[in-house]
Amino acid sequence: MSSTLTKDSKIYIAGHKGMVGSAIWRALETVGYNNLIGQTSQQLDLRNQEAVNQFMATTAPDVVIVAAAKVGGILANSQFQYQFLLENMQIQNNIIDAAHRNNTQKLIFLGSSCIYPKLAQQPLTEDSLLTGPLEPTNEGYAIAKIAGVKLCQHIKNQYHKDFVSLMPTNLYGINDNFDLKSSHVLPAMIRKFHDAKLNDNAPVTLWGSGTPMREFLHVDDLAQAVLFAMQNQLAEHLYNVGTGTDITIKQLAETIQKTIGHTGEIIWDSTKPDGTPRKLMDVSKLKKAGWQYSIPLEEGIEKTYQWFLNNANSYKQVKL
């Protein structure tokens, strides 16, 4: 464990109400960290540099975890590139710079596997960063996250602070977003199959061909990786976080369909985009450092669906 970190250390989790931030909060609380700090977007607009600087100067956190971001699926990412680029740059630049200015010694920046080139060699290694063009549908988001990685790298190198970036693969789990206009593929499928089941097992139409390969990590596993990074001084500035295994979107759909008990037809709409053909992470670097995932995909999907059922009143049912 980092010699200066105690269970009383002030830990600021930016984005603590989101899926990732709330999972990190739960994980830290569970092992006894008792001085966790969170601000809602109403309390603190992370896009406002002056407000963020003032907040950091007042609270002086020992650890900062950057889990705040403007996020969405293929549809949202491709339609609002400007907002995804600008707002994510504002959020992370403000937090990282304010942490640096206020002498925070440890910061963990969370990004995404979309930072890597669209056609990078699989599995994706950390050193494939900036070796080729990005996936066009989420270029804005990816460029913002790359900038965050580079900020942390240069602070680590120039100022010898423990600023590290963790790049998770596709995440899912408790507190996920099931809104069909802005959600990612796995929760969107849960929502679609659930609604179709309630509508006499109506057919479910899914985007693309079903052939792309994807890797999925339960958000509670990512929270454990963040805890590991917080309690240990990692040698490198950038680490992939994932399972190191992937499945086709078609296999994912069939797994979710089975979990939910939907017996209708699956229709693939090949006029819609597939996105990146494959995104498998090489997770050997973090594994070598001492961390690996523990929640199998089927178990994770069951847990997520149970949470969805318990919170289904948050989402209006879709008429098919």
What number of CA atoms fall less than 13 Å from residue 220's CA on the CB side?
Answer: 14
DSSP code string of 191-258:
HHHHHHHHTTT--EEEES-S--EE-EEEHHHHHHHHHHHHHS--SSSEEEES-S--EEHHHHHHHHHH
Q: 3 versus 302: which is more confidently predicted?
A: 302
β-strands 63-66, 162-168 pairing:
unpaired
Amino acid identity at 43: Q
Q: Is 137 one of the annotated binding-site residues?
A: no
Domain extent for 221? 11-173+216-244+279-295
- Asked if residue 250 belongs to a known ligand binding site, the reply is no
- CATH code of the domain covering residue 72: 3.40.50.720
Least confident of 174-183, 187-196, 202-211: 174-183
**Structure-token match 């790049």, residue found:** 167
Mean pLDDT of all residues in the chain?
Answer: 93
Residue 320 lies in a domain: no
Q: Is 207 annotated as a binding residue?
A: yes
Known catalytic residue at 116: no
In a domain, 253, yes or no: no
Residue 275 near residue 137, CB atoms below 8 Å: yes
The answer to whether position 204 is within a domain reads: no
pLDDT tens-digit series, residues 272-304: 988 778 889 999 999 999 999 999 999 999 999
Which two three-digit tokens encode residue 65? 């975890």
pTM assigned to the model: 0.92
pLDDT tens figures, 216-256: 999 999 999 999 999 999 999 999 999 999 999 999 999 99
Domain count, the chain: 1
Percent of the chain with pLDDT over 70: 95
Catalytic residue of the set 12, 116, 141, 293: 141
Q: Give pLDDT, residue 2.
A: 45
291 is in an annotated binding site: no
> Rounded distance, CA 92 to CA 95, Å?
5
What pLDDT digit, counting tens, does each position of 5-50 carry?
999 999 999 999 999 999 999 999 999 999 999 999 999 999 999 9
Answer yes or no: is 257 within a domain: no
113 annotated ligand-binding residue: yes
DSSP 272: S
